[in-house]
Amino acid sequence: MPARILIVEDEALVAMELRFVLEDLGHEVVGTAADSQTALNLAKETDVDLALVDIHLSDGPTGVSIGRELATDHKVAVLFMTANPGMVRDGVAGTIGVLSKPTDEHIVQNAVSYALGVKNGAPTNMAPPQLQLFNQAGA
């Protein structure tokens, strides 16, 4: 089932590659945001099923609060993708987990499919081992 996905990433090349991978899978990328303002505006203007959120953005390490807000206020499924997964070691309320960058398209495919499954009530596949899931109770 195609999904509407928001990419929050300040490295243009990484964002572009991610967009291609997601579009190959048949998903629609509703936008790419490099900072928190743009990300939150996009989430207000349009329906988003899933957001892939980097933590260090052009306006600082704002990814954590973006992820939390998207998950709790906009009911968006949120996966963090960061070179520094320790930043969210204790989990972030409402979000699913974190992928350590760099990653590759197979891992992204599996993680996205798992996250959309979670959002729709039942994951259709196992989470890829590279995806660290947050303990929802703990977060």
Partner 1 sequence: MSDTTSAPSGWTEAERLAALRDYDILDTEPERAFDDIVDLIATLFDAPIAVVNLIDEGRQWFKAEKGLGVRETPLESSFCAHAILEADRMVVPDATQDTRFTCNPLVTDAPGLRFYAGQLLKSAEGLPLGTLCVLDTRARPEGPTELQLKALEVLADQVMTQLNLRRALKHQQRSEAEFRAIADSMPQMVWSTLPDGHHDYYNARWYEFTGVPPGSTDGEGWNDMFHPEDQERAWERWRHSLATGDPYEIEYRLRRHDGVYCWTLGRAMPVRDAEGRIVRWFGTCTDIDDLKRMDQAKELLSQELSHRIKNIFAVVSALVALSARQHPEARPFAQSLRTRINALARAHEFVRPHSDVSRPTMGDMTLHGFLAALFTPYTDEQGQPRVRITGDDAAFDDQAATSVALLFHELATNAAKYGALSVEGGYVDVETDHSQAGLYRLAWRERQGPAIDGVPQKSGFGSSLATLSVEGQLAGKLTRNWNPDGLEVLVELPATALSRRNAARVVTKA
Distance between alpha carbon 66 and the CA centroid of its chain, in Å?
Answer: 10
CA distance 98 to 52: 9
| Cβ 85 to partner 1 shortest distance, Å | 5
Query: For partner 1, which residue of 25, 64, 87, 139 counts as binding (CB under 8 A)?
Result: 87
Binding residue for partner 1 (CB under 8 A) from 74, 85, 117, 139?
85
CB 96 within 8 A of CB 115: yes
Q: How far apart are CA 53 and CA 50, in angstroms?
A: 10
13 binds partner 1, rule: CB under 8 A: yes
Residue 109 near partner 1 by CB under 8 A? no
| Pick 69 or 85: Cβ nearer partner 1 | 85
